[in-house]
Amino acid sequence: MSSKPTEGNPLRAFASQIWGSIFRHGLPTTDKVAARTALTNFFLHVHPVRVKKSAIRVSYTLCLGGLSFFLFILLTISGLFLMFYYIPSVDQAYQNIKDLQFVATFGLVIRNLHRWAAHGMVITVWLHMARVFYQGAYKPPREFNWAIGTFLLLITLLLSFSGYLLPWDQLAVWAITVGTNMAKYAPIAGPYTRYLLLGGRNVGQGALIRFYVLHVVALPLIGFILMVIHFWRVRKDGFTGGL
Amino acid sequence: MALNPYDTPRGKLRSRVEATRRQFLLLVGAVGALGATLFGGLELLKFMFPAATLEAPPQFKTHFTVDDLTGSGTLKVNVLSDTANRVTVVLDTIGIYAVYLVCTHLGCTPNYVSDVTSGTGVTDTAQTVAKHYNAEGGAISTRNGWACPCHGSRYFIDSTNFYGPAPRPMDWVDISMSPDKFFVVNRAAITVYRQAGDTSVPRWRLDPKTGKSNGATIGV
């Protein structure tokens, strides 16, 4: 018999150990503890340990980059759900979309979430770029990150374009017909680009599987890698504070 | 006292011009690896260009027969379309021709409409309009033609563009008759290719009686 309730209770001791191994720091009581927690925690380390008070004003960045990233995460998760129902086949794709809307519980919500978040991300990325441009935040030492940002804009637009074809309705097919024919007008590389994108001469099965692979794997992966570099540079280039 | 030969003034100059064995091997290795990667990467790009596709062949047989087109008799212009294959077959007083329904703007499929000039500001009595309908002989009072749903380009019945962003007329493709009285259209064989601004009425026709074309091609 022991006097303390935890002693001699192996289950409670075990649970306490698990809790302690996950929540290692507890609530920050002092600035020093808060800084140490942020430095040693994977999720918190994305945040800077110290920021200028002027730099956390919402009107400074308007949160546009953060909003874009939030929408990217939202799109990744909702897209993952959509992939459970969607088969990139010309015979089944359109029916899968209808299934999503009328057969799967919350399918309509998730599909619309994906669609509107996609529109939203294009808007926020453009606004983010405009904000950075008008504030002159592309200037040294941030010119490298500005270049990464232009590629991220391109990835965003390509993701939007490639997702356009996947419902395989009339709008999708003709929009991609028009879009890839525009690419064809480029000098020399134009016709090759169109053939490369479509995997043939018309928008068909070859185009659908290519756009699907680009949309769900290739472009998000490239985008993710660029985002990691982008955020790393944001932290390393530091904050200038208010204007 | 032994002196490192590279520590002499002459040796320092030598070390700048000449590479050590290690530097040389590193340079050769780096250039070789980079070159191999570049070459391999470019060659791998061929993977994305299939040598054959599963697309429909350019030549196909229509689902309607020659008699379907010519048999009615009352109309001097008759039009039958195979929209899945994007080809319309037209019969006028001179003969038969096939238009490949790919809008010359950005490649959509224009729809067949019975009053193609409506809403365009182009009047039916204008001389240019009348020219494209000479073959009708007034048998059809409406103005048949094609209207593209994507950006609104319009084409007369002979595929001449007259409205919207389309830069040039749609192409005519080779059409012949099969022994069992169906049409055989070869979309890879263009018979009439007109440049931008060419509003001439092509004379190429397939004779419905003999089953032979007159060979009056344009631009091919």
Tens digit of each residue's pLDDT (9 = 90 or more) over B6-62: 677 777 766 666 778 888 899 999 999 999 999 999 999 999 998 888 888 899 999
For residue B36, give its domain range.
Answer: 5-48
Does B205 map to a domain? no
Tokens at B121, concatenated = 């500001």
- Tokens describing residue B113: 């409409």
- Within-domain flag for B11: yes
Domain annotation covers residue B203: no
Among chain B residues, CA nearest to A192: B49
Q: Is residue B202 assigned to a domain?
A: no
The answer to whether B108 faces chain A, any CB pair under 8 Å, is: yes
* Complex ipTM tops 0.85: no
Say yes or no to pLDDT of B1 above 70: no
What count of other Cβ atoms lies within 10 Å of the Cβ of residue B118?
A: 14
Number of neighbouring beta carbons within 10 Å of residue A63: 15
Residues of A in contact with B55 (CB under 8 A): 200-202, 204, 206
Based on the fold, state whether residues B35 and B73 are members of the same structural domain. Answer: no
Q: Are residues B35 and B124 in the same domain?
A: no
Task: Tell me the pLDDT tens digit for each residue of A193-206.
Answer: 999 999 988 899 99
Residues B102 and B188 placed together within one structural domain of the fold: yes
Tell me the C-alpha distance between A130 and A136, whole Å.
10
CB contact under 8 A, B49 and A181: no
User: What mean pLDDT do residues A93-122 have?
Assistant: 96
Q: For position A243, what pLDDT does the model report?
A: 41
Which among B111, B116, B148 is positioned nearest to B129, based on CA atoms? Answer: B116
Does one domain contain both B26 and B112?
no
Supply the pTM of this predicted model: 0.83
The Cα-based distances of A212 to A209, B35, B110 in angstroms read: 5, 32, 27
Residues B86, B15 share a domain: no
Of the pLDDT bands very low, low, confident and very high (cuts 50, 70, 90), residue B172 is very high
pLDDT the model gives residue A149: 97
For residues B117 and B185, membership in a common domain is answered with: yes
B144: domain CATH number is: 2.102.10.10
Please provide the size of chain A in residues: 243
The verdict on B44 and B88 lying in the same domain is: no
Kindly give the residue spans of alpha helices, DSSP state H, lying in A135-204. Answer: 143-165, 170-184, 189-198
More confident position, A30 or A121: A121
Provide the number of structural domains found in chain B: 2
Structure tokens at A204: 């068909």
Banded pLDDT at B210 (limits 50, 70, 90) = confident
10 Å Cβ neighbour count for A217? 10
Q: How far, in Å, CA of A169 to CA of B13, rounded?
A: 72
d(CA A159, CA A90): 20
User: Does B55 contact A177 at a Cβ distance shorter than 8 Å?
Assistant: no
Burial code of A26-54, b = ≥16 C-beta within 10 A, e = fewer?
Answer: eeeeeeeebeebbeeeeeeeeeeeeeeee
Residues of A in contact with B48 (CB under 8 A): 196, 199
> How much is the pLDDT for B171?
95
For residues A226-243, give the mean pLDDT.
Answer: 81
H helices of A41-137, in order, are 58-61, 64-83, 93-102, 107-134
Is residue B201 in a domain? no
Instruction: Give the model's pLDDT for residue B6.
Output: 67
Spell out which residues of chain B touch residue A177, defining contact as CB-CB under 8 Å: 106-108
- Helix (H) / strand (E) element for B27: namely helix B21-44
Same domain, yes or no: B41 and B100: no
Coil/strand/helix, residue B188: strand
Q: Which of B53, B106, B108 sits opposite A200 (nearest CB)?
A: B53
CB B61 within 8 A of CB B121: no
Residue bearing the bigger pLDDT, B86 or B5: B86
Q: Any idea what DSSP says for residue B195?
A: P
pLDDT of residue B219: 86
Strand partners, B183: B177
The β-bridge relationship of strands B96-100 and B182-192 is unpaired
- B160 lies in the same domain as B68: yes
Write out pLDDT tens, residues B87-142. 999 888 788 999 999 999 999 999 988 888 888 887 766 666 767 775 544 444 55
Question: Could you give the percent of chain B with pLDDT greater than 70?
Answer: 84
- Mean pLDDT for all residues in chain B: 84
Tell me: do B44 and B67 sit in the same domain.
no
pLDDT in tens, A33-85: 888 888 888 888 877 787 777 777 888 888 999 999 999 999 999 999 999 99
If asked whether residues B38 and B137 sit together in one domain, one would say no
In contact, A68 and A127? CB cutoff 8 Å: no
Å between B188 CA and nearest CA of chain A: 12
Q: Would you say residue B200 lies in a domain?
A: no
> pLDDT, tens digit, for every residue of A123-181?
999 999 999 999 899 998 899 999 999 999 999 999 999 999 999 999 999 999 999 99
Residues B121 and B148 in one domain: yes
Domains and CATH numbers, chain A: 10-45 (no CATH), 64-236 (1.20.810.10)
- Whether residue B50 lies within 8 A of chain A, CB to CB, comes out as yes
